[in-house]
């Protein structure tokens, strides 16, 4: 199997094994449902097991209200553990400033939510074998905090100390992404950072005989897999039933996002020994040969039936851009259709409520959808987008009664990782063509080969596809902090109450 094992945005992985089953949690930022957990039996082929929450909280930012949003914020870098038959997921949200702890008897839930007093950046849970529980967290300065027995916050008088500290003058990025384990009686701490000497992200490890003792160590892995000096680092470790060990790390992969890389390692005299290079191909014994994982992406005919409580559960690969406004979307009002309405005005795609997204998949992918825009109001835009800081879209719009197809994008000339989402920036219109009616068939094609990071938009006329607008360059930036997502959207700029109907969604990899 080719490594990286998933060419899609699953950053900050943490991983555990329960008997012959592996579970991996990943950052979902502002997307809802959030905190995705994947499942595998061979560490290579993965499927979605669950989302820990449907919505995290109910703030104006999470609902795209009052001119607010939480792009680039939300949940980050969760810790996944199982202890005495209970699953634990712990993480911070950078918009609320809270540390959340979710628990469940099964990875499928239901999950119960509570908070831990304090804010613990990139935290890692440790349930010690003496019954005590700890969080390790931080950036630059990595701190250990002993928790109260009920895990509600720091234990009064409990252990609270700095384990490792980076030197600002020597790094571009200080130690963070902590993962703490107790293995064979010793405490093993994995960290990511970016030393100036290396010029890219590296994986570090520190080990101590006790939590009160000195943690000694340093960098143990420094490789970019030949990909633009982009280091492979940060993540969890796990052993197989046969006793082999692997680290699930991630690599920055341009506009595709941050993608998981599986790296084998071994223990020598109590220390992890990593290879000089991550393998480009990797095989792991499969205890369930013939098992086929459900895909992490795919099409949708939007044929759904509500459950006993009247709720509809979309396919697991769908996530909304923020909290869904449930009164404004439906897949049951007209079977076979994802229907969106608006109840507010929005300046651009950033504030479009109920944008339904999927991760893009490398090296190339494309998505198609049929759009009925007959109920659009003047100033509405509905269509198919690539949601990223430098977003692009093809949309059907009504202007003074006439329907047009337009291609718009937010160009990003600055290639640095920092960005600034401009709230009222409508993007640049690169093309416009009048259409006589709907429905219309739309397509987007993405190319991530060797960091090309481009997307192109098409519409069907007769039996032929016609490109609309330019080949748009996408750039990963920290103002959204995620890889590009394919999305179905609607927003109104003049009058609320418009409607868009999407059907026959298709998603495929391009050979």
Show which of 239, 273, 307 is a domain's final residue.
Answer: 273
For residue 346, the domain's CATH number is: 2.60.120.200
DSSP state letter for 255: G
Do residue 84 and residue 138 come from a single domain?
Answer: yes
- DSSP annotation string for 301-326: -------TTS-----TT-EESSS--G
State what percent of residues in the chain have pLDDT above 70. 98
Dihedral sign (CA 423, 424, 429, 435): positive
- DSSP annotation string for 117-154: SS--TT-EEEE-TTS-EEEEE-SSEEEEEEEPTTSSSB
How many domains are there within the chain? 2
Do residue 107 and residue 256 come from a single domain?
Answer: yes
Distance CA 121, CA 428 (A): 37
pLDDT surpasses 90 at 26: yes
303 in a domain, yes or no? no
Do residue 338 and residue 253 come from a single domain?
Answer: no
pLDDT surpasses 90 at 420: no
Do residue 367 and residue 492 come from a single domain?
Answer: yes
Distance CA 394, CA 347 (A): 16
8 in a domain, yes or no? no
Distance CA 422, CA 426 (A): 9
330 in a domain, yes or no? yes
Do residue 266 and residue 344 come from a single domain?
Answer: no
Is-contact 388 476, C-beta < 8 A?
yes
Do residue 257 and residue 329 come from a single domain?
Answer: no
Tokens of 363: 């090296």
DSSP state letter for 190: E
Neighbours of 61 (CB within 10 A): 20
Nearest to 421 by CA among 382, 455, 390, 395: 390
Distance CA 320, CA 318 (A): 7
The pLDDT assigned to 202 comes to 98
294 in a domain, yes or no? no
Do residue 354 and residue 500 come from a single domain?
Answer: yes
pLDDT surpasses 70 at 354: yes
The pLDDT assigned to 418 comes to 67
- pLDDT tens readout for residues 427-485: 999 999 999 888 999 999 999 999 999 999 999 999 999 999 999 999 999 999 999 99
The pLDDT assigned to 310 comes to 84
Show which of 237, 255, 273 is a domain's final residue.
Answer: 273
Structure-token match 């609309």, residue found: 468
Cα distances from 404 to residues 78, 342, 375, 400, 447, in angstroms, run 44, 19, 14, 11, 26
Do residue 66 and residue 157 come from a single domain?
Answer: yes
- DSSP annotation string for 144-180: EEEEPTTSSSBPTT--EEEEEE--GGGEEEEEEEEEE
Q: What is the arithmetic mean of pLDDT over 367-396? A: 97
CA 423 to chain centre: 23
Q: What is the arithmetic mean of pLDDT over 182-210? A: 97
Distance CA 351, CA 67 (A): 8
pLDDT surpasses 80 at 414: no
pLDDT band at 415 (very low <50, low <70, confident <90, very high): low
For the chain, the C-alpha Rg in angstroms (whole number) is 23
Do residue 267 and residue 363 come from a single domain?
Answer: no
For residue 93, the domain's CATH number is: 2.115.10.20
Q: Residue 84: CB partners within 8 Å, gap ≥ 6? A: none
Do residue 178 and residue 82 come from a single domain?
Answer: yes
Distance CA 262, CA 44 (A): 8
Show which of 248, 273, 298 is a domain's final residue.
Answer: 273
The pLDDT assigned to 422 comes to 66
3-class secondary structure for 192-254? EEEECCCCCCEEEEEEECCCCCCCEEEEEECCCCCCCCCCEEEEEEEECCCCCEEEEEEEECH
DSSP state letter for 289: T
Nearest to 215 by CA among 184, 250, 243, 180: 180
Nearest to 389 by CA among 69, 92, 121, 172: 69
Specify the 3-state DSSP secondary structure of 351.
helix
The pLDDT assigned to 286 comes to 86
Is-contact 107 40, C-beta < 8 A?
no
Do residue 327 and residue 269 come from a single domain?
Answer: no
428 in a domain, yes or no? yes
Specify the 3-state DSSP secondary structure of 449.
helix
Nearest to 201 by CA among 182, 175, 162, 179: 175
298 in a domain, yes or no? no
299 in a domain, yes or no? no
Range of the domain at 248: 14-273
Q: What is the arithmetic mean of pLDDT over 374-384? A: 98
Neighbours of 401 (CB within 10 A): 6
pLDDT surpasses 80 at 62: yes
Do residue 163 and residue 264 come from a single domain?
Answer: yes
459 in a domain, yes or no? yes
**Length of the chain, in residues:** 511
- 136 backbone dihedrals φ, ψ, rounded to 5°: -115, 135
């Amino acid at each position: 199997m080719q490594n990286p094992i998933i060419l899609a945005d699953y950053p900050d992985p943490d991983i555990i094994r329960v008997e012959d089953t592996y579970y991996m949690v990943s950052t979902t930022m502002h997307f809802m449902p959030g905190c995705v957990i994947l499942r595998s039996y061979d560490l290579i082929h993965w499927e979605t097991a669950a989302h820990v929450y449907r919505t995290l909280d109910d703030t104006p930012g999470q609902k795209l209200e009052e001119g607010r949003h939480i792009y680039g914020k939300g949940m980050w870098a969760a810790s996944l553990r199982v202890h005495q038959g209970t699953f634990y997921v712990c993480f911070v949200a950078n918009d609320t400033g809270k540390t959340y702890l979710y628990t469940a008897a099964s990875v499928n839930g239901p999950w119960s939510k509570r908070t831990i007093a304090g804010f613990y950046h990139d935290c890692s849970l440790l349930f010690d074998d003496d019954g005590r529980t700890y969080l390790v967290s931080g950036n630059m300065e990595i701190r250990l905090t002993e928790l109260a027995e009920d895990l509600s916050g720091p234990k009064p008088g409990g252990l609270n100390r700095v384990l490792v500290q980076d030197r600002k003058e020597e790094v571009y990025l200080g130690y963070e992404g902590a993962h703490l384990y107790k293995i064979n009686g010793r405490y093993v701490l994995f960290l990511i950072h970016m030393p100036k000497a290396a010029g890219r992200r590296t994986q570090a490890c520190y080990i101590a005989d006790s939590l009160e003792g000195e943690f000694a160590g340093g960098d143990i892995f420094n490789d970019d897999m030949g990909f633009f000096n982009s280091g492979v680092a940060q993540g969890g470790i796990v052993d197989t039933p046969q006793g082999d060990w692997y680290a699930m790390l991630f690599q920055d992969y341009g506009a595709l996002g941050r993608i998981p890389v599986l790296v084998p390692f071994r223990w020598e005299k109590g220390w992890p020994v990593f290879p000089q290079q991550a393998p480009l191909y990797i095989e792991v014994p499969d205890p369930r040969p013939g098992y086929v994982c459900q895909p992490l992406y795919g099409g949708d005919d939007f044929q759904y039936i509500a459950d006993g409580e009247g709720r509809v559960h979309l396919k697991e690969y769908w996530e909304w851009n923020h909290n869904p406004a449930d009164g404004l979307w439906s897949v049951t009002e007209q079977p076979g259709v994802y229907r969106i309405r608006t109840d507010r005005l929005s300046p651009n795609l950033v504030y479009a409520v109920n944008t339904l997204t999927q991760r893009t998949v490398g090296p190339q992918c494309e998505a198609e959808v049929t759009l009925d825009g007959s109920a659009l109001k003047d100033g509405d835009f509905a269509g198919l987008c690539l949601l990223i800081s430098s977003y692009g879209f093809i949309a059907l719009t009504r202007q003074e009664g006439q329907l047009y197809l337009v291609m718009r994008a937010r160009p990003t000339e600055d290639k640095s990782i920092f960005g600034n989402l401009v709230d009222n920036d409508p993007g640049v219109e690169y093309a416009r063509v009048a259409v006589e009616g709907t429905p219309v068939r739309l397509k987007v094609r993405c190319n991530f080969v060797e960091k090309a990071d481009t997307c192109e938009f098409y519409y069907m006329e007769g039996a032929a596809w016609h490109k609309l607008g330019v080949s748009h360059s996408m750039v990963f930036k920290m103002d959204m902090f995620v890889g590009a997502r394919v999305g179905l959207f609607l927003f109104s700029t003049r009058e609320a109450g418009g409607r868009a109907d999407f059907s026959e969604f298709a998603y495929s990899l391009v050979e």
